[in-house]
Amino acid sequence: MQRLMKPLAAAVAMALVLAVAGTVQAERLTFMTGPAGGTWYPLGGAIKRILEEGVPDLQLSLRPGAGLINIKAIETGKAELAMGHVISTVDAIAGNPPFETPHKDLCNLGALYQQVAHIVTIDEDVRSIADFRGKSITSLPRGNTNEFALRMLLGMYDMTYDDLGTVNFASITDMVNLMKDGHAVALSLITSLPSGSIMDLANARDVRFLDIPDAQFERLKARNAGWSRVTIPAATYEQARDVISAGFPMQMMASCSRVSDDLAYSMTKALAEHVTELASINAALATHDAAAMAADIGVPFHPGAERYYREVGVR
């Protein structure tokens, strides 16, 4: 009996050692997404599933966040993985406002869908952003890239919040309700096409979409190279014409120092091979692929992501 028990005990001991070793080797990362109720949060949940299924022993802990908050979380070691807005990442790396110093731990894993500036008014006297002077407008809360982008948009016309009547900082739902009730006459929302919230507003009120003229766009681009020209096609919101606007991609970013090259490679590969599965949440990703993810957006790639894109021939 003792002869039988010794091998059994040894086998049990070895199994426990292997189990403990497997636990130690498991990768646990904090993944910052967006605020609950926004489009980033469910998208983050879908990305978590793809990455955990595609990368052995990877465990992601989702945290709600926002464009600026996510960048600070990676830089301060509170997160390893995050969604980001390209214009904010570009500013953070350069140390431009609202960031006080250059951020050195931000690496790009890949660009996802394009986000478009929806500048919408219900006031017939408002024909451009310049006409926001003295008016009540609404934006997402401070600390959100959308809010800082609004400051950039006002800056195209040498305007600040002091030139406006009232700025209502609110959730997307409350922004739309403020417009429906007439408590705000214009909003600025940077999001993907089409936006369900903008559709809701357009169904409830007669709205006008404002263009960004070339001269003002050049000022915007000079302020931050992450901006690009984007068109809202006619009939997207049953509007009669194309709207010439601006926008920037949403991206996946990771800590350069705390995410290993091999892990970044594996996560990028898993996401690129399954990115079209995210189309059920964001239709713009239905035709997305590795080449689109590898677009040069002015943010350095994580070496592991770079290795994957070179391996598949898109860099």
* Residue 124 phi, psi (nearest 5): -65, -20
Q: What pLDDT score does 283 carry? A: 85
pLDDT of residue 23: 40
Q: How confident is the model at residue 4 (pLDDT cuts 50, 70, 90)?
A: very low
Q: Is the peptide bond preceding residue 97 cis, with omega within 30 degrees of 0? A: no
- pLDDT-derived band at 37, boundaries 50, 70, 90: low
pLDDT digits over 186-205, tens only?
999 998 888 889 999 999 99
Instruction: Determine the length of the chain.
Output: 315
Are 103 and 109 within 8 A, CB to CB? no
What is the reported pLDDT for 25?
59
- The DSSP secondary-structure symbol of 140 reads P
> 307: which 2 tokens?
């290795």
Mean per-residue pLDDT for 153-178? 94
Query: Could you tell me the residue ranges of all domains in the chain?
Result: 26-113+249-311, 116-248
Tell me if residue 25 falls in helix, strand or coil.
Answer: helix
- 26: pLDDT confidence band, cut at 50, 70 and 90? confident
How much is the pLDDT for 16? 44
DSSP, collapsed to helix, strand or coil, labels residue 83 as strand
Least confident of 11-20, 82-91, 163-172, 198-207: 11-20
φ and ψ of 99, to 5 deg = -95, 135
The pLDDT tens digits for 203-239 are 999 999 999 999 999 999 998 888 999 999 999 999 9
Equal CATH topology for 26-113+249-311 and 116-248: yes
- pLDDT tens string 266-309: 999 999 999 999 999 888 899 999 999 999 888 999 999 999 99
Predicted pLDDT at 73: 95
Q: Is the pLDDT of residue 9 over 60?
A: no
pLDDT at position 297 is 87
- Is residue 30 within 8 A of residue 65, CB to CB? The reply is no
Q: What is the pLDDT of residue 6?
A: 52
Residue 145's pLDDT band, with cuts at 50, 70 and 90, is: confident
In contact, 154 and 103? CB cutoff 8 Å: no
The reply to whether CATH 3.40.190.10 applies to domain 116-248 is: yes
Closest Cα partner for 312 from 286, 292, 287, 296? 292
What sign has the CA pseudo-torsion 36, 259, 280, 287?
A: positive
CATH number of 26-113+249-311: 3.40.190.10
User: What letter would DSSP give residue 242?
Assistant: -
Residue 172, pLDDT > 80, answer: yes
Please report the pLDDT score of residue 274 as a whole number: 96
Query: Quick one: what percent of the chain has pLDDT higher than 90?
Result: 73
